[in-house]
Structure 1
């Protein structure tokens, strides 16, 4: 039996979570390690699973479908069929595989499955992930209310907010001519909008619109799934891990010619001054993450980074930016340290260290 080393949170609700499982290769492992935590209905084949689901009512449908990848890869077609069923299309779907194959992971990402695990993996990590996915699904409709609660709980220190407005406001006014030139250059360089807007997760998991000057081709997001597997700097570090939490593409071919200059000079970040003025983020803090990255930092250990302010620059930028030997764990530890130790003096030190960091040659 796999040693259980992960944080045992939310244990009281586990027995109420229903899982429909299909497969034989990992059935004994799942039965031995997870049956005491979840209510699991086992099926030997995909056909048996479909028959089982077809017999469920709205009151008895499972919370999670946990399915092994079969040799003919019919499991992916099953996902399409389930999503065409009004009653089943919102179910959490996680796949398990005994074969290490990047193409399988790519298919899973393209289908936007909730997760994909390759054996060997820690069943305690899987258990914690399943708990989080159910909890996140339950609270997702209430994100607006939750963000209001976070705003009441978290108050940015007055001195930090004053420094943000002073620096960001002053820079915005002084750099307006440069921003206008960059906007014109982006428009001339390639087809598409001047600004790139994406959803980012900041303090307290608050989601906001994040702005940059566009430095990539307009089809960049569509290519991310495959490249996150093949070209990610933060490659999965542990055996059996399906993907890393952070995505940083090596020698990213999606970047335009002008985009390379904008990124190396950090000019693409200038529109984030507007985010700072609005209060979405601070001058100094942990970088706000894309939603697909934030959803992977689910353990108590790593969710700590979201208890500190989100920022334009931070410890990672001044100490490790552009170094290919930087591990995912190192970056997480830097984020956690800042969330715990941030102060006005530390912010000033980071701001002073940011200027030379801008001139580091970054190839990732």
Structure 2
């Protein structure tokens, strides 16, 4: 997602809203200009009518959003946008007609609806044309272009590559062409070099007969590093459900989306994280202070424990309330040696370590761990955007080093303070295997929705108050 795409979509929403209000007000005055020819039976002040418009506008904007007019991929044709505008506005005003057509105290004239319909379509379309022209000018100047790598066979789909190269309005800049007959290792090495040095964020496989084994490896690479994967149909069979179909120069292109959490979904999730975590930090500040005092009074050492955790393509220092004796904590010589001994008691399979009756835990630490109060400082990471309220489980960097390559796609999203893994095992059930945790995190990434987040948060709340709810997904 480019910032310019987000900016233009935010501007589009504002422009559309203004155009709806302007169209409605203009229709109001036009109707009363015709009162000599067709008298107005019921009068309504402009102030009252604007109040009605303010109620109608969100309905129209919602329908436009459902029609895909605010998708963050900035390569749509203006002709397809205009058709969607007509359908969305027509559907919205038809709904208004059904609700209010017979209530003349709300609408002094039914002609206003007709005028509003025509003017809204015309003005929103005009606004879109102007914004699209401005966006195309930016794309021609190289602003907001996605850096694209094309993998193709010599002479295969040549017209497709030429079309992308000569039409910046499609939103791409081809930074490299790679031959599809290169060995897998060389292809992956080249892609990684382009990712690191040129910031590649999209890949197109334009060879319909590309080797399936190599294509699967490249797909994993793209998934691991957040690169959008596109391919010409008949490349290989896939069970992926998050796909989209686009066309360039009449050639269909299949886009494999890493997760439904793209575009506006990611924006909405971040806004909710910011608002909820900020509010929680303020409301829970007395509890945070009390816990800090109790830790300080009952054991020597700092209040917080911090450790590098993996996040996206990088890492961050994750803070929690300290629940162990400081001398036995990781990061100290004695603590690291003790951990090595305790790892032999690991209650789980896989790279994660879980120790029953850990002797390093201080008395209040057991209570904090059981109630999850030790994780409250993670609200600060959520507020900063390093974590999310809901997401894949947060992992230590050294644990990630032991992950198999096909697990790396779990870092497409920010780690979450809670998630499917946590609510499924109620956090303290060692019977949930490492492979099952990976499956749950992968399910969340591939099936994200805002309702799934709310479901997980609700189940988390039930767990925190001592319930063990049934988890269905």
In structure 1, list runs of 5 or more residues that go unmatched: 1-8, 15-127, 133-153, 236-243
Change (3 A) 1:245 1:359: farther
SS in structure 2 at match of 1:157? helix
1:217 counterpart (314, 319, 325): 325
Contact map agreement 2:309 2:318 (CA 8 A) in 1: yes
Q: Which residue of structure 2 aligns with residue 178 of structure 1?
A: 287
Matched, 1:232 2:340: no
Q: Distance in 1 between matches of 2:274 and 2:388?
A: 9
Q: Which moved more, 1:173-182 or 1:212-221?
A: 212-221
Q: Which residue of structure 1 aligns with residue 461 of structure 2?
A: 355
Larger Rg: 1 or 2?
2
Matched, 1:314 2:419: yes
Contact map agreement 1:200 1:288 (CA 8 A) in 2: yes
SS in structure 2 at match of 1:208? strand
Contact map agreement 1:203 1:306 (CA 8 A) in 2: yes
In structure 2, list runs of 5 or more residues that go unmatched: 1-182, 189-216, 222-261, 331-335, 469-473
Q: Which residue of structure 1 aligns with residue 270 of structure 2?
A: 161
SS in structure 2 at match of 1:209? strand
CA RMSD of aligned residues (A): 2.7
| Cα deviation 1:5-27 (Å, max 9, x = unaligned) | xxxx963499xxxxxxxxxxxxx
Q: Distance in 2 between matches of 1:267 and 1:292?
A: 24
- 1:213 deviates by 0.5
Q: Distance in 1 between matches of 2:354 and 2:361?
A: 13
Relative to its length, the structure with more helix (as a share) is 2
> Number of residues paired by the alignment?
208
- 1:361 deviates by 9.3
Contact map agreement 1:227 1:249 (CA 8 A) in 2: yes
Larger RCO, structure (CA 8 Å, separation 6 or more): 1
| TM superposition outliers: structure 1 runs of 4+ over 4 Å | 359-362
SS in structure 1 at match of 2:404? coil
Matched, 1:340 2:446: yes
1:261 counterpart (367, 390, 396): 367
Q: Distance in 2 between matches of 1:359 and 1:299?
A: 38
Change (3 A) 1:282 1:291: same
Q: Distance in 1 between matches of 2:187 and 2:414?
A: 31
- 1:328 deviates by 1.3
Matched, 1:272 2:378: yes
Q: Which residue of structure 2 aligns with residue 298 of structure 1?
A: 404
Q: Distance in 2 between matches of 1:323 and 1:288?
A: 17
Matched, 1:200 2:294: no
Name the TM-score, length of structure 2 as normaliser: 0.41
- 1:339 deviates by 1.7
Q: Distance in 2 between matches of 1:10 and 1:257?
A: 54
Q: Distance in 1 between matches of 2:287 and 2:430?
A: 31
Contact map agreement 2:386 2:414 (CA 8 A) in 1: no
Name the TM-score, length of structure 1 as normaliser: 0.53
Contact map agreement 2:348 2:431 (CA 8 A) in 1: no
Change (3 A) 1:317 1:359: farther
